[in-house]
């Protein structure tokens, strides 16, 4: 009883200490207060439960999804290479864990070698919603071009990225449901106008969202999704791939203009640099 009184005294007299991420092993008790549930720690600090939901402990997280490679201050957590995918991994979306299209608008740019997601036009301030149930792994301004960025890791093993946001309305380690309001759309970072840059990744590797999503009907194509190497490089298997043989005077820039693409895309498709010298007779893919 004395210990409980001491904790209650601490709750109303000690300032709240802001923690970037909870250490669930350090939690010893919770106490109900007029302002809500307070979490009590071994080092005599505390915080309100509603301020930042508790992450699962390693014991509770049997799959390791929310404890292994759980990094909050950088975008990529796994550093996996597409070539390491040999067997088919099946992503299952159960009927209990629904899908929500983050925002619906004009789809003006899709998945390519140099663009790893969908660009969906919107107005600044439009509501952005979580695609699946999950936990927020990353939520802050990114200097790499995404601007304000949220990354959510989901129970099906995928992560979704939401970029160029004008406002972030969730915190790292926050549990979210499909359809929850997580942000406002905007044009932060490297952006030429208000839009949502939306990506779906498996262990950091980008998937073509249009292979999973029926965009016009705002639903998944199926509840199961096989992940193979083809998913990461879908254009490698395109029936309409166009390959040309280099002639005298050809440059990457000239080829990009001729075939209505970009230097960046040609370089990404052929795994070359813009400064690469094109030898006469070499075959190079342009579409």
Residues 170/127, Cβ–Cβ less than 8 Å: no
Phi, psi angles (nearest 5°) of residue 229: -60, -30
Superfamily name and number for 82-233: Glucose Permease (Domain IIA) (2.70.70.10)
pLDDT tens per residue across span 245-265? 989 888 988 888 888 888 877
Is 90 exceeded by the pLDDT of residue 1? no
> pTM (2 decimals)?
0.68
Mean pLDDT score of the chain: 79
Lowest mean pLDDT among 74-88, 115-129, 138-152, 244-258: 74-88
- Cα separation of 235 and 174, whole Å? 36
Tell me which DSSP letter residue 53 carries. P
Q: Is the pLDDT of residue 155 over 90?
A: no
Dump pLDDT digits (tens) for 79-110: 777 667 666 677 776 555 589 999 999 998 88
d(CA 175, CA 18): 18
Is the model's pLDDT at 142 over the cut of 70? yes
Start and end residues for every CATH 2.70.70.10 domain found in the chain: 82-233
Give the model's pLDDT for residue 193: 94
Q: Give the integer Cα–Cα distance in Å for 165 and 197.
A: 9
**Delimiting residues of CATH 3.10.350.10 domain(s) in the chain:** 243-285
Lowest mean pLDDT among 20-34, 64-78, 93-107, 156-170: 20-34
Please determine, for residue 227, whether its predicted confidence score (pLDDT) is greater than 90: no
**Residue 41 pLDDT grade (very low, low, confident, very high; cuts 50, 70, 90):** low
pLDDT at position 281, please? 87
pLDDT at 65 over 50: yes
Query: Do 46 and 16 form a contact (C-beta atoms < 8 A)?
Result: yes
Q: Note the CATH number of domain 243-285.
A: 3.10.350.10
Q: Which of 76-90, 178-192, 226-240, 272-286 has the lowest mean pLDDT?
A: 226-240
Three-state SS at 231: helix
Burial of 40 (0-12, 13-18, 19+ CB in 10 A): buried
CA dist 25 and 42 (Å) reads 9
CB distance 55 to 135 below 8 Å: yes
Q: What tokens does 119 get?
A: 């660009």
Examine the pLDDT at 178 and tell me if it is beyond 90: yes
- What's residue 35's pLDDT? 61
The enclosing H or E element of 258 equals helix 252-258
pLDDT at position 276 over 90: no
Instruction: Tell me which range, 60-64, 123-127, 239-243, is most confidently predicted by mean pLDDT.
Output: 123-127
């Amino acid at each position: 009883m004395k210990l409980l009184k001491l904790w209650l005294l601490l709750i109303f007299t000690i300032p709240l200490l802001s923690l970037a991420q909870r250490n669930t092993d350090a939690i010893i008790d919770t106490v109900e207060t007029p302002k809500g549930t307070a979490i009590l720690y071994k080092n005599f600090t505390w915080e309100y439960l509603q301020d930042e939901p508790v992450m699962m402990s390693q014991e509770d997280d049997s799959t390791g999804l929310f404890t292994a490679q759980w990094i909050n201050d950088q975008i990529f957590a796994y550093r996996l290479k597409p070539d390491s995918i040999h067997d088919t991994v099946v992503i299952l979306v159960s009927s209990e864990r629904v899908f929500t299209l983050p925002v619906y608008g004009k789809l003006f740019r899709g998945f390519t070698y140099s663009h790893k997601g969908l660009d969906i036009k919107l107005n600044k301030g439009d509501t952005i919603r979580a695609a699946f149930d999950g936990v927020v792994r990353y939520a802050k301004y990114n200097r790499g071009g995404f601007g304000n960025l949220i990354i959510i890791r989901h129970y099906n093993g995928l992560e979704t990225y939401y970029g160029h946001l004008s406002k972030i309305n969730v915190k790292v380690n926050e549990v979210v449901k499909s359809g929850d309001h997580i942000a406002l759309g905007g044009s932060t970072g490297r952006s030429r106008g208000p839009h949502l840059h939306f990506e779906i990744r498996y262990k950091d590797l980008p998937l073509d969202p249009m292979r999973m999503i029926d965009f016009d009907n705002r639903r998944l194509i199926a509840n199961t999704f096989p992940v193979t190497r083809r998913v990461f490089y879908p254009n490698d298997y395109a029936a309409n791939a166009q390959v040309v043989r280099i002639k005298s005077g050809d440059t990457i820039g000239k080829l990009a203009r001729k075939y209505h693409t970009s230097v960046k895309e040609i370089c990404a498709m052929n795994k070359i640099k813009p400064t690469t010298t094109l030898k006469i007779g070499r075959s190079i893919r342009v579409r």
